[in-house]
Amino acid sequence: MGREERALVGAELSRDRAALVDRIVAEVYERVPAYQALHESQLAEVRAIAAWLVTRSLELWVGGAAGLAPEDLERLRGVGRARAADGRSIEAVVRAHRVGSAAAVRLVARASADRLDAEDVFALSELWLTAVDQISESLSVGHTEAARLLDTDVERARRAFLDDLLIGRQSSRGAVRDRARILGITPPDPAVPVVAEPAPDAVETAPRPAPGAGTVAGPGADPTVSVPGAMALLDLIEPTGADPLLTTRSGRAVLLVAPADAAQVGAVLGARPWRACVLAPRALTGMSAAYRLADDALETAPPHAFGAQGVLGEADACVLALLNGGPTTPDAVRRAALGPLLTDANAHLLETLRAYFRAGAATTAAEALHVHPQTLRYRLRQVRELTGQDPHRPWPRFVLETACAIAP
C-alpha cells in the first residue's frame, strides 16, 4: 500500500476516532487498576490525550515518520508533570500508555485488515513501539521533574495549590483530593475563606498590582504583604485538625481554615492593625468565586463598614457585590444578611425589622405593630444576636435594610 492508500485509511479511522478512543480507554480502564479509581473529569482528560495520540500516530504513519516529534515529546513531559501534581504514580501512567498503544495497533489493524499489507502493519507496529518508548521516557522525565519540585519546596507547593483553587484551576473534588494527597496534607473542606491586609494606616503601602497577580514570590508580587508576614497569622492560630492553607495575592493574605478555627482567626485579626473579610464555609471547589467576593469587598468597602474589629462578614461582602456588580445574587444577599429571620419561627422578627426601617424610630414602629416599645427593642436585640448585624449602627443597618428591600 502506498502513501495515498494509507492516507485514505487514516482519514477513515479519524472519522471514527471517537469510537476508537472509547475502546482504547475502556481497555486501559479494565487492565490498569489505578485508572478505575479516576473520576469522570479525569477520565475525560484520559480520552483527550488518547485522541491526540491516535490522531498524531496516524499522521506519522501516513507520512512515514519513525517516531514522535520534539514538540510531541515536550507535550508528553507536560502530561507527566501534571500526573505528578495529581498524585498518579508514574508506573500506572506508563502502563496505561503501553496498554493503550497495544490496543490501538490491534484495533487499527482489525478495522483495516483487508486493506493493509504486511509492510503497512510492520510500519504501524514499528512506529508505535518506538512511540511507546518515547512516551514512557517523556512521561517519566516530566513526572520526576514535578515530583522533585514538590518534594524540595513543600510550602511553595502548598501556596501553588491554593493559588490554583483561587483561580478555579482545580475544578473537581477528585482533583483537589489527589493534589492534597501528594502534598501530604488534609485541607479543610468545607473551608472558611479569609482575605486580609494591613490597615491603610498600619504600613506604607506600595502600588497594588493588577488583580490576579501571582504569589508574592513570583512576578508582579506586591511587597505590601510578604509570605513571612502572612505566615505570622498562622503562627497565632492552633488548628483543630485540618491543615490551613495560606498564600498572598495582589498584596493581600488569603487563608483557608476549618470552620472550627474561624473564631480564632477573627480574634487574631481583630487584635491587630489588619482588616479582613471572613466568609461563611464553602467547598474547596467553590473557592474561586469566594475569593473574588472577599477580595472585591476589601477593595470597595467604605472605612466605616469594618467596625471596631476591622472584619467584614458574608453579608457585608454580598451587599457590596450587589452594589458593585460582583459575584452574587439578590437571593444570596437575603440569605447572607437575614439568615435565621427567613424561617417561619422568626417571621415576626423580620416583620419588626421592616417596620422599624419604615418608621425610622422604635416607638413609632411599636405603635404600627401594636406592641410595647420594650417588646420592639427586645426583638431588635434578637435580630442583632441572630444575624450579627446591629440595626442601630449605620453600616449594619444599611446591610439589613438592603436585604429587606429585596423581594420577596
Q: Exposed, middle or buried: residue 207 (CB in 10 Å: 0-12, 13-18, 19+)? A: exposed
- Contact predicate 54/21, CB 8 Å: yes
* pLDDT digit string (tens) for the chain, length 408 residues: 566 777 877 787 778 888 888 988 999 988 988 888 777 777 888 889 888 888 888 888 888 888 888 999 999 988 888 887 666 778 888 888 889 888 887 887 777 766 767 777 777 778 878 888 888 888 888 888 877 765 656 777 788 888 888 888 766 787 788 888 877 888 999 999 999 988 776 543 333 434 433 333 333 344 445 544 555 666 677 877 788 898 888 778 899 999 988 888 888 887 778 889 999 999 998 899 999 999 999 999 999 998 888 899 999 999 999 999 888 899 999 999 999 999 999 999 999 999 999 998 889 999 999 999 999 999 999 999 999 999 999 999 999 999 999 867
pTM (2 decimals)? 0.58
Domains and CATH numbers, the chain: 3-151 (1.10.490.20), 163-324 (no CATH), 340-405 (1.10.10.2840)
Q: What is the pLDDT of residue 333?
A: 94
User: Rounded CA gap, 264 and 236, in Å?
Assistant: 9
Which long-range contacts does 205-214 make (Cβ < 8 Å, 24+ apart)? Answer: 205/251, 206/251, 208/250, 208/251, 209/250, 209/251, 210/250, 211/250, 211/295, 212/167, 212/249, 212/250, 213/249, 213/250, 214/163, 214/249
Give the N- to C-terminal CA distance of the chain in Å, as an integer: 74
- Per-residue buried b or exposed e for 182-206, using 16+ beta carbons within 10 Å of the residue's own CB: bbebebbbebbbbbbbbbeeeeebe
Q: What is the pLDDT of residue 225?
A: 52
Q: What is the pLDDT of residue 171?
A: 65
Collect all residues with Cβ–Cβ distance below 8 Å to 171 and sequence separation of at least 6: 41, 285
- Residue in this structure with the C-alpha cell 521533574, named with its chain if needed: 145
Q: Would you give the distance in Å from CA 337 to the centre of its chain?
A: 25
Q: Exposed, middle or buried: residue 340 (CB in 10 Å: 0-12, 13-18, 19+)? A: middle
